Chain A
Amino acid sequence: MVAQNIFFGILSAIVILSALRMVTTRNIVHAALYLVAVLAGLGALYVLLTAEFVATTQVLVYIGAVMVLFLFGIMLTKAPLGNAMEMTGKQWPIAAGVAALLGGVIVYSLVNHFGSDRLVTDGPIYRTADVSDEVFSTYIVPFEAVSVLLLAALIGAIVLARKD
C-alpha cells in the first residue's frame, strides 16, 4: 500500500507539473513533449488502477497516433519554433481565474462529498478479455457507433484538409 502511494505521488507530480509546463511553455514542440509526459504518466496511473487495457490503449493511441498527428499539425502550420511568437494571450489572468474557480469548485465538492473514502482495492480485477467481452456484448451498439464516428471523422478530415 505504501509502495502504491509512493508511486501515485511520483506519477501525479509528473502529470501535474508536465501539464502546467505544457500550458505555460513558450516552445510549442516542448509543449507537445510535455503532453507526452502527461499522457505517459496517466498511462502508468491506469496500470496502478489495474486498468491494463486502457493503459495500453493510452500509449498506443495517444502517445503513438495522436501525438504524431499533433507534431504533423505543428509542422504543417509552420508554427514558429522557439520564442518567436508570444504563446499566451493577454487575457491569461482571466483564464487563470476562471480555471482556478472551476478547479476550486470541483475540488471543494469532491472533498465535501467523498471526504476520506478509501479506494476499493480488493474489488474484482478486469483483464483485457473481460473488457473485450463487455465491449462486444453489452456495448456493441456504441462500439459500432464509434466505428462510424471514426469513419466520419476520417472522411471529414480528408475533405477539410485536402487542397483543391
Chain B
Amino acid sequence: MWMLENAFLIPLIPAISFVVILFFGKRYIGADRVHVVGITALSLVWLLSAVAAFQWTQRVENPTPDAVVQIEHHGDDHGDDHGDDHGDDHGDDHGDDHGAAVGDSEGGHGGGHSSPLIRPVISTFSQWWSNAGVDFAVGTFVDGQTVLLLMVVATISLLVHIYSTEYVKGDRRYLHYYAFLSLFTASMLFFVMAQNIIQLIVGWELVGVCSFVLIGHWWEEKPNTDAALKAFLTNRVGDVGLLVGMIVLWGTFQTFDIDAINTLISTNPGAHHLALLVAACCLMAAVASKSGQFPLHTWLPDAMAGPTPVSALIHAATMVVAGVYMIARLYPVFYEGFSIGTSSINLMAFIGGFTALIGAGLAFAQWDIKKVLAYSTVSQLGYMVMALGVGAWTAAMFHLFTHAFFKACLFLGAGSVSHAAHHTFDMREMGGLRKDMPHTYRTFVISSLALAGIFPFAGFWSKDEILLGSLVGQQNGYPLMLIFGCAVALMTAAYMTRVIWYTFHGEFRGHGQPHESPKVMTVPLWILAGMAVVAGAFNLPGPVLEPIGLEGLAHRIQTYAEPSVYLNGLGLSHPDPSLTMALVGLALALSGIVITYLYYWRRRGLHGLTERNRYARTGYKVLENKYYLDHLYNDVVVDTVKRPIAKWANDFNQNVLDRAVNTAGETARDVGRWVYKWIDQGAIDGSVNAAARGADSSGEGLRSIQSGKVQNYGQLLFGAAAVLAIVFVIVV
C-alpha cells in the first residue's frame, strides 16, 4: 500500500514538470521540444496512478484489519463493550447502529453491502498553520473515488499531451502551453486527493486559473481574452458560494478534515440539518459555476475559444467534473442537506435535470461543432449532478468515468476535423469528411454512439444506471427527473446524429483538400474510442454477467469506488438492475437517431419548419440566443444595476452637486474679496511678516546648535532622553 500512503508523489511530478518547462525549458531543452518533459511526467503519473488503483483494489479485496472500519455502538451502551463487539458481523452492528434509517432500505442493497467498509488512506504531512486551536493540515486522502479520478485525469491528460504535439505544433507559446497543461494536471490531481476542505478550495482555484490561462492561450484575439475573462468571472461568482459553504461547514463541525466531516454526518444523520442545507445550497452555487450548471453554465461554451485539446482535457473530461467530484466527496453534506433519501425532488436533482435538458436543447441550434459538444458537456454534467441529486452516487461516478473518455474523444475528433479543414469549427464549412478522414470518422461515430447511449457502448450502461436511479430513488422515486432524463436521452442521440450528418456526410462545403490527421493524433483517438466501447464493463450489472459466469466482476466501480464507509451510515441503497428501464432508454436513444436520420438522410419530416411556422421560428431563435441568458446577465442584470445608479448619479451630479458647487463658488468669491481687503492685507500680512522676522532671529540663535558635530547631537539626544525619563518618573 506504499503508493496509497505516498500519493502526494502523483501531483508532485507534473508540478515539477511545470517548473522545469517554464523555467528551464527554453534554455536547456528547447522551446519546441518541451513536450518530451510533459509526456515523460504524465507517463510516470499514469504508471503511479495505475499502481495506486491496483493497490486500492487489493485493499478492498484483501483488507488488512486496520483498513476495515470496526463499527462501535453509539448511544446508551457506549463505552463498556467495545472489545466484545469488534468480532461481530458488520451487518448486525450496522442495523443496531442506525436503526430505522437503514432498516427500510436494507433490502435494496445491490450486493456491495456484504463487503467490509474500507477506510480511506489518509496521510497528513504537516500542520502548516495553527491558530487559536484550529489546525490547518496538508495531506492526501486516497480512496476508490480518488483513484478513479486519478486514472481518468492521468489517462486523458497523457493522451492530450501526445495529441497536442501535433495540434499546437509551431505555436508561438508552445512552451507555455505545455507548462500550463502540466500545472493543470498537477492542480487537478492535487484537488482530487485533497485531505481537507482547504485543499479542496486551493485545488479548485488552481484548476480555475489554469483554465483561464489556457482558454486565453491565443490572447491576441479579443474573443479569446473575453472568453477567458468570462470563464474566470463566472467562476468567481460560484467561488463565493464555495467559500461561504466551506465556512459554514467549518462553523458546524469545527474541523476542515473531509473524513471527519463525513464521519460526523454519517454517524449522526439528522443533526445540523439547517446548517447542512445552507452549506449545500452555497456549495451548489460553486458546482453550478465550475461544472457548468444552470444558470451559471454560460461560460462553458465560450471557453471553447481555447485550443481544442484543452477543451477536451479541461472543459470536457476533468476540470468541469470538479464540481461533481466535490459533491461526491462531501456527499453526506448534500445527502443530509437536501434530504435526498426522503424527498422526491430537491434542488440538486432539479438543477441537474434542468441543466441536462436545456443543454441538450441548445446543442441543436449551434453551428460550431465545438459548441455543440460544449452544450452536450453541459447536458451530461447535468446528468451527473441529477444522478447525485437522486441518490445514485455510483451512477454519477460511473457516468463521470465513461463520459470523460467518449467526450474527450469527441473533442479531439473535432480538433482533428478542424486541423484538416483549415482550422474552422463551423459545421457549415464541413461535410463529406467521411471519406477523407476514415479514422476520425470512425472514432467520432463510436464515441457518439457511446454518448447517445447505444448498447453495448459505455454510455449505455452509465446512462441506464442514472435513469434507474431516478426511477427508484431512495425512499421515493424521482418522477420528474426520470422524465428529464428520458427526454435528454432522446435529444442527445438526435443532436449527435445531426453533428455527424453535417460534419462527415453530404457534400464537402469547405475550402481546400481535407486530409486525415497524422498518427500522433489518430492513435489517441483510437485509444479513447476503445475506452468508449469498454469503459462500461467496469460497472456491469450482475444479471448481464451471470450467463457467462463472471458475476464476481459486477459493479466493480460500486465495489471499489463507493465510500460506503460514509454512505452506509446514511442508509444509501442501490436499485436492482431493471431490464425494462434499459430497454426504454435504448429505445429512446435509437428513436432519436432514427428520427434525425430520416430528417437529414432521407429528407423526411418537416423541413423548413422554422421558415414557415412562427412558433417554431421563435423557438429556434430562443435556442439560437441560448435562452437569452447572456442577455439576461448583460442587459437585464448588469443594466438594471448599472443604469439607475448611473442615472441617479448623473441627476445628483447635475442638480445637487453642481448647484452646491456653484453656490459655494459664488459665496467663496464674495467672501474672498472681503477677506482680501481686510484680513489678508491687514492681519495676515502683518502677522506673516512678524513671523518671518521671528523665525529669522530665532534661526540665527538656534543655528549654533547645528554644529555638525556628532557629539553635540549626542549630548542633545541623551539629555533630551534623560529629561523625558525624568518627566516619566515624575508623572507615572
Q: Determine if B729 and A109 form an interchain contact, defined as CB atoms under 8 angstroms apart.
A: yes
Among A97, A99, A101, A106: residue with most chain B CB under 10 A: A101
| Closest Cβ neighbor of B721 among chain A residues | A102
Q: Determine if A99 and B729 form an interchain contact, defined as CB atoms under 8 angstroms apart.
A: no
Does B722 have its Cβ within 8 Å of any Cβ on chain A?
A: yes
| Closest Cβ neighbor of B720 among chain A residues | A98
Does A94 have its Cβ within 8 Å of any Cβ on chain B?
A: yes
Question: For the complex, what is the distance from the CA of A94 to the CA of B705, rounded to whole Å?
Answer: 14
Q: Determine if A91 and B715 form an interchain contact, defined as CB atoms under 8 angstroms apart.
A: yes
A96: shortest Cβ distance to chain B, in Å? Answer: 10
Question: For the complex, what is the distance from the CA of A109 to the CA of B726, rounded to whole Å?
Answer: 9
| Closest Cβ neighbor of A101 among chain B residues | B722
Q: Which of A89, A91, A95, A105 contacts B729 (CB 8 A)?
A: A105
Question: B-facing mask of A103-128, CB < 8 A → 1, else 0?
Answer: 00110110010000000000000000
Chain A neighbourhood of B725, CB < 8 A: 102, 105-106, 109
Known: A105-B729, A108-B729, A109-B729. A91 touches B711 (CB 8 A): yes
Q: Determine if B718 and A98 form an interchain contact, defined as CB atoms under 8 angstroms apart.
A: yes
Question: For the complex, what is the distance from the CA of A88 to the CA of B205, rounded to whole Å?
Answer: 69
Q: Determine if A112 and B715 form an interchain contact, defined as CB atoms under 8 angstroms apart.
A: no
Known: A101-B722, A102-B722, A105-B722. A94 touches B715 (CB 8 A): yes
Chain B neighbourhood of A89, CB < 8 A: 711
Chain B neighbourhood of A94, CB < 8 A: 715
Chain A neighbourhood of B715, CB < 8 A: 91, 94-95, 98
A85: shortest Cβ distance to chain B, in Å? Answer: 16
Interface size class of B (residues with CB under 8 A): 10 to 19
| Closest Cβ neighbor of B727 among chain A residues | A105
Chain B neighbourhood of A99, CB < 8 A: 718
Q: Determine if A102 and B718 form an interchain contact, defined as CB atoms under 8 angstroms apart.
A: yes
Binding site secondary structure of chain B = helix
Chain A neighbourhood of B711, CB < 8 A: 89, 91, 95
Question: For the complex, what is the distance from the CA of A115 to the CA of B722, rounded to whole Å?
Answer: 21
Chain B neighbourhood of A98, CB < 8 A: 715, 718-719, 722
Chain A neighbourhood of B719, CB < 8 A: 97-98, 101
Does B653 have its Cβ within 8 Å of any Cβ on chain A?
A: no
Chain B stretch 673-732: residues in CB contact (< 8 A) with chain A: 711-712, 715, 718-719, 721-723, 725-726, 729
Interface size class of A (residues with CB under 8 A): 10 to 19
Question: For the complex, what is the distance from the CA of A112 to the CA of B725, rounded to whole Å?
Answer: 14
A126: shortest Cβ distance to chain B, in Å? Answer: 28
Question: For the complex, what is the distance from the CA of A105 to the CA of B730, rounded to whole Å?
Answer: 10
Chain A stretch 112-148: residues in CB contact (< 8 A) with chain B: 112
| Closest Cβ neighbor of A94 among chain B residues | B715
Among A98, A102, A112: residue with most chain B CB under 10 A: A98
Question: For the complex, what is the distance from the CA of A102 to the CA of B721, rounded to whole Å?
Answer: 8
B727: shortest Cβ distance to chain A, in Å? Answer: 10
A97: shortest Cβ distance to chain B, in Å? Answer: 8
Chain A neighbourhood of B729, CB < 8 A: 105, 108-109, 112
A81: shortest Cβ distance to chain B, in Å? Answer: 23
Question: For the complex, what is the distance from the CA of A98 to the CA of B729, rounded to whole Å?
Answer: 17
| Closest Cβ neighbor of A102 among chain B residues | B722
Q: Determine if B726 and A105 form an interchain contact, defined as CB atoms under 8 angstroms apart.
A: yes
A8: shortest Cβ distance to chain B, in Å? Answer: 26
Question: For the complex, what is the distance from the CA of A28 to the CA of B605, rounded to whole Å?
Answer: 114
Question: For the complex, what is the distance from the CA of A89 to the CA of B722, rounded to whole Å?
Answer: 22
B70: shortest Cβ distance to chain A, in Å? Answer: 39
Question: For the complex, what is the distance from the CA of A108 to the CA of B721, rounded to whole Å?
Answer: 15
B705: shortest Cβ distance to chain A, in Å? Answer: 12
Can you report 20 A-B residue pairs in the complex whose CB atoms are below 8 A from each other? A91-B711, A94-B715, A95-B711, A97-B719, A98-B715, A98-B718, A98-B719, A101-B719, A101-B723, A102-B721, A102-B722, A102-B725, A105-B722, A105-B725, A105-B726, A105-B729, A106-B725, A108-B729, A109-B725, A112-B729
Sample of 11 more A-B contacts, CB < 8 Å, known A101-B719, A101-B722: A91-B711, A91-B715, A95-B715, A98-B715, A98-B718, A99-B718, A101-B723, A102-B721, A105-B722, A108-B729, A109-B725
Please give the residue numbers on chain A whose beta carbons come within 8 Å of chain B beta carbons, in ascending order: 89, 91, 94-95, 97-99, 101-102, 105-106, 108-109, 112
List the 5 shortest-distance A-B pairs measured between CB atoms, nearest first. A102-B722, A101-B722, A105-B725, A98-B719, A98-B718
